[in-house]
Structure 1
């Protein structure tokens, strides 16, 4: 009887035992991004304890903290009026002694089509609340991949978070094909599709129902459940942690429904 091999993706070799810390761009510091940053802090500390070079995280967001952000997002009353990215990065650097960076601007091209400085990274994590930003991110990282294909910080992975009121998803993509080792045990998968390619029609349809920003916490809770962002952040961080720690993954994401507490993993190769 022929044995069916499990589909797996092996981590890019340069990220398995890097000489320098892995540069990560986190895009969006709202409901999911503000919670995810705490998980990245924990991942970095744990990697360093294991002898890994760790992470160098840059957080991109040009929004200011308002009263509506306090409670559902990880901000305090004393931080009102500050840039979200600056408040979070300052807090983490003071807490953990890191030297992470805040980028208080949008991760997008300017009017002349120029890509922001410091946009290069090995891993991109998007926690944005609109569809158009995902297509913009996809365009930028593909452009950077062509320009810096042999650079140390050439784009390699994109981890995208998205959610509605009670449901959400986390999807890991490769930026181009990642060379895979030969294996007699597994079927290796070199390329994981972009969310913007795999779910183009679904994204464009959801864009029609995008709401305007909330003016209060009560109003925002009508649009998104209190714990949907935190739950997704933890599960997505777990996916990233296991990929970096073990150097391989059988899953490239998940679908979550917090209303009925169901999670559906997305297998590599499916």
Structure 2
């Protein structure tokens, strides 16, 4: 009887032993993005301690901190009125001694249909609220993927999304990642974009109310207190395993925090 091989995606070799820090574009600095940044700080410190070149993060967000953001997001009263990206990156750099960058604009194409400036990166992480922004990111990544043999050609896109007490994280490849020969596993070189696999669901979600909250209480009605941090920790664990294990059998997960259920999304 022939046993079916486990499907595995092997990490792009450049991420395992890079000559320079891995460039990451983190898009969104709100409830999830602010906590993903904290996880990336921990990851960078751990990677460099293990002899890896570490991470170089650029955070994109054009929003400013309001009083409704305090508590649920990584902001203090003294930061109200500041750009979210600037407040978070300044704090990260002071805390960790890094030289990460903040962008106070949206990650979107300009009026001429070109990708935004300073988009060089191997990994893109989106923590945005709207489906429209995800389709925009997908278009930009497709444009950037035409840079063949470029050191900063995008390789992976990790998308975080959530509702009140549920959420998901999905890892995608930008194009195909060459895979090694394996007798033990069935290797998978391409992981689909969230905008390809769940296009209909994303379009339906655009009808949801995405107006800014005016208070912490109102914000908590839209998103439970710990859904963002739970997704951030689990999603960054997937990214950490890509670096440390060099492969993954799962490309994401669905999380229901209300009844504490998690369902992995296997590589297919």
Task: Look up the match of 2:226.
Answer: 227
Task: Look up the match of 2:59.
Answer: 59
User: TM-score of the superposition, structure 2-length normalised?
Assistant: 0.99
Task: Look up the match of 2:141.
Answer: 141
Task: Look up the match of 1:43.
Answer: 43
Once superposed, which parts of structure 1, at least 4 consecutive aligned residues long, lie more than 3 Å away?
A: none
CA contact (8 A) 1:130 1:210 kept: no
Task: Look up the match of 1:25.
Answer: 25
Q: Deviations over 1:127-171 (max 9, x none)?
A: 00111000000000110111x221111000000000000100000
Which ranges in structure 1 are unaligned for 5 or more consecutive residues? none
* Cα offset, 1:27, TM superposition: 0.1
Task: Look up the match of 1:203.
Answer: 202
CA contact (8 A) 1:8 1:248 kept: yes
* Cα offset, 1:211, TM superposition: 2.6
Coordinate RMSD, CA, aligned: 0.7
Q: Deviations over 1:3-59 (max 9, x none)?
A: 221111001111111111110000000000001101000011111011111110000
State the distance in 1 between where 2:212 and 2:186 align: 44
Residue 149 of structure 2 aligns to a residue whose secondary structure is coil
Residue 151 of structure 1 aligns to a residue whose secondary structure is coil
Task: Look up the match of 1:2.
Answer: 2
State the distance in 1 between where 2:116 and 2:237 align: 29
Q: For 1:206-217, list aligned pairs within 5 A.
A: 206-217=205-216
Task: Look up the match of 1:167.
Answer: 166
State the distance in 2 between where 1:256 and 1:210 align: 21
State the distance in 2 between where 1:197 and 1:230 align: 26
Residue 168 of structure 1 aligns to a residue whose secondary structure is strand
State the distance in 2 between where 1:202 and 1:114 align: 27
Q: For 1:244-259, list aligned pairs within 5 A.
A: 244-259=243-258
Task: Look up the match of 2:239.
Answer: 240
State the distance in 1 between where 2:103 and 2:245 align: 30
* Cα offset, 1:114, TM superposition: 2.4
Q: Deviations over 1:241-268 (max 9, x none)?
A: 0111111001000000000000000001
Q: Deviations over 1:60-101 (max 9, x none)?
A: 001100001101101000111111000000101100101111
State the distance in 2 between where 1:210 and 1:142 align: 29
Q: Deviations over 1:189-245 (max 9, x none)?
A: 000000000000011011112331111111011110000000000000000001111
Moved more, 108-117 or 77-86: 108-117
